[in-house]
A and B are shown apart, each in its own frame.
Chain A
Amino acid sequence: MTYTVVNGYSPRTYETILTECVSAVNEQFGTAYTNEEFEGTNLWKFLYATIQGMMTIENGIAELGAKMQDYIRTQNEELIIHRSSVDGFIQAMADELKLIASIKPIETGEEAGNISIAVDIDEAGSDYAEKKQQIFNTMHKYLTAGLFYNGTEQGTVTATNGQQFNYAYDLPTKTPLKVKIKVRVSENKNIFVETPNEIKEKFLNNFEKLYRMGFDFEPQAFLCIDRDLPFASEITITYSTDGGTEYTEEILQGMYDEKITINPDEIEVEVL
């Protein structure tokens, strides 16, 4: 078996092992057979089955090597990005609880020692109480001592010595938007023009895929000519935060706990 940094352990091929076997036969019996001459004999039949067995073992070793590399890489990542850091804790919440979390940046000296965490979770879910305790347990497991936790959702975790520690987090602050999409059909292309409903569906799918709590809302990122609407020459997406009085296409800066929500009925699509 050979080892390279890129491919890891590579099992030998049938031809390579057979060549080694034929060379061993030649050495043992003083012959000079090539692989082609040797193939077909009873001795080859016996070795063919042996080679298959060897290849199965070598494949197993290669697979084991790949799993070991993966394990070592994961361990290294955990050591480099430890779970008490901002990125590490956000990743831990995603890995262990499948939840999106974000942490408020500290901007003044007075805020030092205070931590505000927002967690994107459905508080109306039937298993919310259980999930809530899991969030506190995760905070207790990874975050350091000496912090004051701000937030509306509060609870306690008992440490191994019996002490009670208080934890808290915030639910997202929802910002509902009304959206207007204007699509101008290109006169230079002879491509099927999609219906307003299909355009709306594509927008919502992209919003679901690309947006998460805490991100800035960049309206033009959710529909592109090349990726989504090849028949268009121009796409303009505007939104309103005040129920439809004023529309803008500027980027909406998101707070760490802000979650943009868009009701499908609040999207207007115009194809020009």
Chain B
Amino acid sequence: MIDIKIENGNAKMIETVVFKASNLLKIQEGDLEYHKNFGIDLKRFFDPDIQIQNKTFEAYSLQKMAQNGINPVALAIEKKTFEQIFNYSVIAAEKGGLIK
């Protein structure tokens, strides 16, 4: 997946699906006026009134990536005292040989 990246103030074209995955995980679902289905439901997971297990978020994020043509190949979870860091390794989904 060709994409644009700003490096030292210059726009550079690179081949990566990382930005697509990053944008998907950062955008609140429903916020984009013309593309309401894009993004994940961040508000639900960060709602202080509801506690959801980290495992649930893990499964949800992987499912959303797959739905958007991103293939997560590895997920490393780094546990700290008050937080968990999810490190996703992704590749673009293959187009050929798919069952319709």
* Residues on A facing B (Cβ under 8 Å): 14, 25, 29, 31, 33, 36-37, 39-46, 48, 51-52
Contacts and interface: CB of A to CB of B under 8 A. Distances in A.
B19 interface: yes
B4 to A, nearest CB: 5
Interface in B1-23: 1-5, 13, 19-21, 23
Interface stretch (B32-40, B45-53, B71-79, B80-88): B32-40
Contacts of A41: 1-4, 19-20, 23
What's the interface size class on B, roughly? 10 to 19
Given A36-B68, A37-B1, A42-B5, 10 more contacts: A29-B2, A36-B69, A37-B69, A40-B19, A40-B20, A40-B21, A40-B68, A42-B4, A43-B3, A48-B35
Nearest to B5: A42
Contacts, number: 45
B91 interface: no
Nearest to B67: A36
Nearest to B69: A37
A25 B3 CA distance: 10
* Majority DSSP secondary structure for residues of B touching A: mixed
B24 interface: yes
* Majority DSSP secondary structure for residues of A touching B: helix
A31 B38 CA distance: 23
B59 to A, nearest CB: 20
A40 B5 contact: no
A115 B2 CA distance: 81
Contacts of A43: 2-4
A40 B21 CA distance: 7
A30 to B, nearest CB: 9
A31 B68 contact: no
B24 to A, nearest CB: 5
Contact of B2 (A14, A31, A48, A51): A31
Contact of B38 (A29, A39, A42, A51): A39
Contacts of A29: 2, 13
